[in-house]
Chains A and B, each alone.
Chain A
Amino acid sequence: MISSVLENIQGIEIYYIIGLLLFVVFFVVILIRTLRMPSKEAEHIKNSILNDNEIMTPSNK
């Protein structure tokens, strides 16, 4: 059953495989880049929204 799922149209599985590959590659890239992001920066961004009047300059990061 499982092996015949994608067989009824020739070559159709290529869309499927390319799509999945794209996702996996994309996901891994995002994951690695995000995990390597300095935690201090993430902390700063998420705290910054809490005070509407906070003065934002690149220097106080």
Chain B
Amino acid sequence: MEDQKVIYDNKTVKLFILATLVWGIVGVLVGVVIALQLRFPAFNFGLEFTTFGRVRPVHTNAIIFAFVGNAIFAGVYYSMQRLLKTRMFSDLLSKFHFWTWQLIIVLAAVTLLLGFTTSKEYAELEWPIDILIALVWIAFGVNMIGTTVIRRVQHIYAAIWWYIATFVGVAILHVVNSFELPISLFKSYSLYSGAQDAVVQWWYGHNAVAFFLTTPFLGLMYYYLPKAAERPIYSYKLSIIHFWSLIFLYMWAGPHHLLYQALPDWAQALGVTFSIMLIAPSWGGMINGLLTLRGAWDKVRDKAELKFLVVAVTAYGMSTFEGPMMSIKFVNQLTHFTDWTIGHVHIAGMAWNGGIVFGMLYWLVPKLFRTKLYSEKLANAHFWIATLGILIYAIPLYWSAVTQWLMLREYTPEGFLAYPNFLETLTQILPMYTFRILGGTMFMIGFLLMVFNLAKTMKAGSMVAQEEAYAPVLVELGARDPKKEGMHRFLERKSVRFSIVAFIVLAIGGAVEIIPMTFVKSNVPTIEAVKPYTPLELAGRDIYVSEGCYNCHSQMVRPFRWETDRYGEYSKIGEFVYDHPFQWGSRRTGPDLARAGVVGGPMYKNAAWHYNHFMDPQKMNEQSIMPKYSWLAEKDIDLDIIPVKIRAMQKLGVPYPDGFDKIAVDDLKKQASGIVADLKASGITADPNKQIIAMIAYMHKLGRDISTPAVNDSTNMATAKVVVETLPTTPADLNSGKEIFGKLCASCHGPEGKGQATFPNLTDDVWIHGGTPTDVVNTITNGYPVKGMLPFKSQLSDQQIKQVASFILNSLKK
């Protein structure tokens, strides 16, 4: 049979490799910057564009979609042509794919820093970019499936099923999670609300890990590991079985991101069960990868690319064991909202994804440029510095997670939280964040070594942009012979049919997870008292979203004693029905805010406190690592868009009265002037049109609807006045009082008790509520919630309150 000439397109592969290197450095560098921000808030640079809340999504998106994305495409475009013995289906699509993807990355970086975000993690980009992504993804899919149709081999090798699953999976996820109602070019509201939005988002978030960070990488592993080791994959049959079970099971496991949260139990149980089951197919992949090297481990010693691939596959095995363990409800108490998750994703991201990419590049670049790697030594140096960097990054974060969790749930013998102030637990783990900076920097240095090495290699060699090869024409085999051909082999011959089956398999999991949540009404029991956001609160909420506050603050109190004691009543599913999008958060670098508006609750702060705190968090809490948000007091609320927002919310089913959009601005101004008057009473002059007013309104909305109305401060005192004759004055008591004062009182009254802003000086002779021991003890016990003084009886024992009072009256005044 005559051979046909095939001309492989190497140019697109090279472009994707270059993009991988450039965006990789950017992504890792941004990662180091945000690690610095978490340790030293000065690295937020006092600019709105460079605050952690906006930069963190740039890091995650740059790593996932820019670095990893381009690497996937480079690997796919190279291997697919060789595996199928044909050129990619369409040069035009290849070109469109490459350049539009880079455009999306640039747009993503710019819009995220400008504060245009949907706040759904790893899907933060606004709707116009979502549409662009959909277009590129279709181009990629058509190009890929087109290539399988014009192939010159009978079978489709394992790697390519994973590529096809990637295409199908991401397509489903992206479309379903991006249903949103645009209200302007850069702002949209999620069509889903509250718990439904959370389920869809974490179904997406979990499966983005599956279909962007796992399936394409297994595909790359199935090609580049055998290539680099020059040995066939261990078991082809195992690859078939673990392929179908992995793609089937992954889609179900999303709710494990929402354990103990406001989600029906059945959904949580579903997530846990399927997460545990996922260990099997995941380990199938790891075993297949590692056993490929059996009898060839000597090669690992010599070749840096194999070292990276081995560490990658090992890390994959570790992470896919750790993940299901983290999905067990009890373990999840610890791992959720703490740094455990951050450690977990970085083991997976740096070692598994990074390792496969590095291994692939060290093998591919010399091959593509027909030369040898510039320096094997440098590559080995990269390997060791990166591996050590990963460990130095991750181990301290696991340590930090356990430390913080133990502190958060520790009680004193009297039955009070040992560390009622969240900040204490954070301050304790800050040293670990220094190690994280070190680990990240090491990883970055390794990366730079690789870029240098590969650049030198490229320079020394020469790439043939249009490489020639020969392959015979494919002879049609005709209808399936059921005796000779297995189901999978039959599907595999017809790539389009294969894709459709993969789609159905994926859709089942997604449907089972989402449809009941969306259509079964009883899933979301409504709470009568929960009212829609007022226009001012809505404006504040949109600012909260755009500043990325959800990156550090959750709005989800789980039903544990140590959470309800610290924050207040646990969160109910019906509270979130007007939330487009949901704001439950995933990591608490700061305290939970779900109960920030419950007057008299432990999280309530008055308007003056919030004002001062937004302007300069470190002034209120010296050890706080929150960035300053002083521009909120300078930037105006966009009043023109308020009626549009109200109408959009009405379309989404929020029950504002008819015609409310016309009076919404007046309503907003009225509420704003109320807050301004409140601030004025505390001695702060503020402009009612500024964003800070909206933010304060939003803070005070959180949890307010389900709490009992604020207690009038004078009756509060009258009901439970305890007469105190003498205060304890031993040095031990005064020391204990001093310690408590530093933890709980200093954030408002100042470290020396001299007061700040509107919070009274405790060292002079002026007492607003009386200065006798009885008065002071009662003030501390019951507080004046409306004015910002918390009732500390829920956080301190009677004895501790007396100690603080004694410290204030005896030590501070001197």
Contact = CB atoms under 8 A, between A and B. Distances in A.
Interface of A: 4-6, 8-10, 12-13, 15-16, 18-19, 22-23, 26-27, 29-31, 33-37, 41-43, 45-50, 52-53, 55-58
Interface stretch (B210-218, B444-452, B470-478): B470-478
B768 interface: no
Interface of B is mostly: helix
A9 B270 CA distance: 14
A5 B266 contact: yes
A50 B266 contact: no
A49 B85 contact: no
Contacts of B3: 55
A51 to B, nearest CB: 10
A26 B523 contact: no
B488 interface: yes
Contact of A37 (B1, B248, B489, B509): B489
Contact of A42 (B237, B249, B266): B237
B486 A37 contact: yes
22 contacts: A5-B269, A6-B265, A6-B266, A8-B265, A9-B266, A9-B516, A12-B516, A23-B249, A26-B505, A30-B240, A30-B488, A34-B488, A37-B240, A42-B235, A46-B158, A48-B157, A49-B82, A49-B83, A49-B157, A49-B223, A50-B227, A56-B471
Contacts of A13: 266
B236 A50 contact: no
A27 B512 contact: no
B232 A50 contact: yes
Contacts of B489: 37, 41
A52 B227 CA distance: 10
B265 A26 contact: no
A19 B523 contact: no
Given A34-B237, A46-B226, A55 B471 contact: yes
Contacts of A26: 244, 248, 505
A22 B547 CA distance: 44
Q: Which of A16, A31, A35 has the most CB of B within 10 A?
A: A16
B264 A8 contact: yes
B262 to A, nearest CB: 13
Interface of B: 1, 3, 82-83, 85, 152-155, 157-159, 223, 226-227, 230-233, 235-237, 240-241, 244-245, 248-249, 252, 264-266, 269-270, 469-472, 475, 477, 486-489, 505, 508-509, 512, 515-516, 520, 522-523
Contact of A49 (B227, B240, B475, B520): B227
A18 B244 CA distance: 18
Given A12-B520, A34-B241, A50 B469 contact: no
Contacts of B470: 53, 55
B486 A36 contact: yes
Contacts of B232: 43, 46-47, 49-50
Nearest to B292: A46
Given A16-B512, A37-B237, 20 more contacts: A6-B269, A8-B264, A9-B516, A10-B522, A12-B520, A15-B515, A22-B508, A26-B244, A26-B505, A29-B487, A30-B240, A30-B241, A30-B244, A34-B241, A34-B488, A41-B489, A49-B227, A50-B231, A56-B154, A57-B472
A2 to B, nearest CB: 9
Given A33-B486, A53-B469, A56-B154, A23 B241 contact: no
Contacts of A23: 245, 248-249
B528 to A, nearest CB: 20
Contact of B475 (A9, A10, A41, A58): A58
A9 B82 contact: no
Contacts of A6: 265-266, 269
B380 to A, nearest CB: 25
Contacts of A9: 264, 266, 516, 520, 522-523
Given A26-B505, A29-B487, A56 B85 contact: yes
A58 B469 CA distance: 19
A19 B486 contact: no
Given A15-B516, A46-B236, A31 B241 contact: yes
Contacts of B252: 19
Given A49-B157, A49-B227, A56-B153, A42 B236 contact: yes
B265 A19 contact: no
B237 A19 contact: no
Contacts of A29: 487
B484 to A, nearest CB: 8
A45 B245 CA distance: 21
Nearest to A41: B489
A43 B157 CA distance: 12
Nearest to A1: B265
A42 to B, nearest CB: 4
Nearest to B152: A56
B236 A57 contact: no
A60 B516 CA distance: 52
A57 to B, nearest CB: 5
A33 B484 CA distance: 11
B195 to A, nearest CB: 13
A48 to B, nearest CB: 7
A26 B232 CA distance: 28
A44 B241 CA distance: 18
A15 B511 CA distance: 9
Residue among A27, A37, A45 with the highest chain B CB neighbour number at 10 A? A45
Nearest to A4: B265
A16 B270 contact: yes
B590 to A, nearest CB: 32
Contacts of B488: 30, 33-34, 37
A32 to B, nearest CB: 9
A52 B469 contact: yes
Given A50-B227, A52-B82, A56-B85, A45 B266 contact: no
B235 to A, nearest CB: 8
Contacts of A48: 153, 157
Nearest to B251: A19
Given A9-B520, A30-B487, A56-B472, A19 B236 contact: no
Nearest to A61: B154
B309 to A, nearest CB: 15
Contacts of A15: 512, 515-516
A32 B727 CA distance: 80
A60 to B, nearest CB: 10
B559 to A, nearest CB: 14
A33 B244 CA distance: 12
A59 to B, nearest CB: 9
